[in-house]
A and B are shown apart, each in its own frame.
Chain A
Amino acid sequence: MIRVAAFLILTLPLTVFAASYDDDMPEVRRKALKEQKEKSCDSTTEYIKALSFMRANQDFVVTETAARQIADKISKGCTGAADRFAKILKMLKGIGVSDKKSLEMAFEFSRLPDYVQNNFTEIFTKSFLTEFFDYDFTTALALAFELSKDYKGDPVQVRNDFIELVRFCKDGQKLDLPTQLCAEYTIKLARLSQYFEKGVREPFYKLYTTLRDKEEFSLDIKTSLDLSYNILKGGPKAIDNFFSAYDYASKPEGLGYAQDKAMKFAMKMAKRSYMGKEPVVIPGFDYHNAVQRELASEEENK
């Protein structure tokens, strides 16, 4: 009995100590492990990939020495750098950008996360190519930069918003706007994406459809588009504020306004949907880490 009790007494503290270690340390340990994973780089793989690509590439022929220097630089961009570099280089050479500029931009994007490069590629091609917006090179480039590497909001959301809005805009069954108008509107809307947690496309579809199809509104395409944009500028709360204000303003027991006046009142309320100069920008989930990775890479390159 006493031996058992002694055993119990002896084992009890150990059990207590083991539970404390796991309970006290998990969050710190988890964070550290996560950070380790994010900041670990397959530098050798990236070097080899980059060098193989430069040796095989016919669009951009360089000496072996230059190829090795390029591979060396790319290997500093961490995992995925070689692919990011190759995609940007191939795309830019494929559209007619000079070797110097293509290389410069490919290096730049090799150091940025995958989704920044994906954003750039997607938005640039849809802005530049004849099948889509057919913008000149300078305009398409500025836009693609704005919504990729210079973008403060969620890059994944803005890319998806852009792609879907282009599709919606050019769809024969839906908007079917002329290219120029479609381009201008899509870009304007995409810029609002940064205020919406899950992007602007769904709020836009709902809003536009309501303004077009609901009997109490039944607005024409142009008015529906303009109004949708002006409401969405007020951020996520603006939609609710607009409709509830309109409701109230049109009721006899509310303000008893006719449609026009009620809409103006509703718009006024919608504009007051945030404090400060603009609605809060919702950054991407991994944005902070991506920026840190970029800064660390720049430090190393100095």
Chain B
Amino acid sequence: MAVAQESVPVKSIELEWDPVEKASGYEVRLMPAKGGKPLKFFTEDAKLMQDVPVGLYKLQIRSRSEDADIFSPWSDTMPLEVVAKEITPLKPEDGAVMESPDANKFPVDFEWKSVDGVKEYTIKVWSEKRRETPWVFVTKQPKKRLDVPPGEIYFWQVLFESASGISYAQAPTTFRFTVMGAKLTTPPIGPQTLNPDMQILEWEASPGAKAYKVKLYFRYLDETEFKLVDETTTENTQWTFNRLNRGAYKLEVVATAPRRSASDPGSFEFTVKPSDQEIQRALAGVKR
């Protein structure tokens, strides 16, 4: 039975050496330290940029003559370690959701684990709206502060260069975070217009709200527990009923907007009463 092999991560390496006079090209040989088939690459210039499986190798290089297909002896063996260099974000955590008290800007502190041998980092930040025009900063320290507008999802990457000037080309990981806009204020609800035949339930607008989640609860006059009887989502600040059942009600309204924390619920209790005429009609209907 064949055993499935684990896939080995691959990293880009970049090698450079002193060119040899009149050499037409070079052959680079990487022999895995644990044994196995060596990796061979050909290049015309005295440098190589290549994806190589992570691991420990013995490196050797030889040159090829200008006019004939003759190779020089292999160079001395040099150990080469291909390691995975990755960015580990510290702040903000990948997937974090933050709430901004300010409607216009929110300071984000980017911080990541420093990587050995890195000269400088390039941090790139963008949102859905700024996909084409990301913020790009270069920094020697593994951190950066940036003010961003609230109410969006943001993405960021960190690329880095080695101290020797070689860029560790890697498929950078993209991290994300969300900055929610300021929490919406509770919509004020005051006394309601309660005609026995029509009930117009109203509330005041909450600044910045795009919609309202509204719930209507009912209880009998002699009871204490309310039960949900109706709910809706509306962009208006009004909900109209024709002849609600008589009894006690509670109206609850929550203001909502995309990427802003919903408000705390505003609520108001009221009683729908019949008219005297309605009662007299009901009593007259009882035949003696």
Residues of A within 8 A of B (CB): 53, 83, 86-87, 90-91, 94-98, 101, 121, 125, 128-132, 134, 136-137
Contacts and interface: CB of A to CB of B under 8 A. Distances in A.
A98 B222 contact: yes
Contacts of A137: 221-222, 248, 271
B285 interface: yes
B204 interface: no
Contacts of A98: 220-223
Interface residues of B, number: 22
B283 A95 contact: no
A129 B246 CA distance: 12
Nearest to B273: A130
Given A129-B275, A131-B276, A137-B221, A96 B248 contact: yes
A97 B221 contact: yes
Contacts of B173: none
A81 to B, nearest CB: 12
B273 A129 contact: yes
Contacts of B220: 96-98, 101
A94 B286 contact: no
Interface SS of chain B: loop
B271 A94 contact: no
A91 B282 contact: yes
A129 B276 contact: yes
B44 interface: no
A94 B222 contact: no
B91 to A, nearest CB: 55
Central interface residue in B272, B283, B286, B288, by most chain A CB within 10 Å: B286
Contacts of B136: none
B286 A87 contact: yes
A91 B273 contact: no
A90 B282 contact: yes
Contact of A95 (B194, B223, B274, B288): B274
A259 B162 CA distance: 107
Contacts of B288: 83
A101 B248 CA distance: 15
A82 to B, nearest CB: 9
A125 B276 contact: yes
B285 A128 contact: no
Given A129-B276, A137-B271, A96 B245 contact: yes
B27 to A, nearest CB: 93
A131 B222 contact: no
Given A83-B288, A128-B273, A96 B282 contact: no
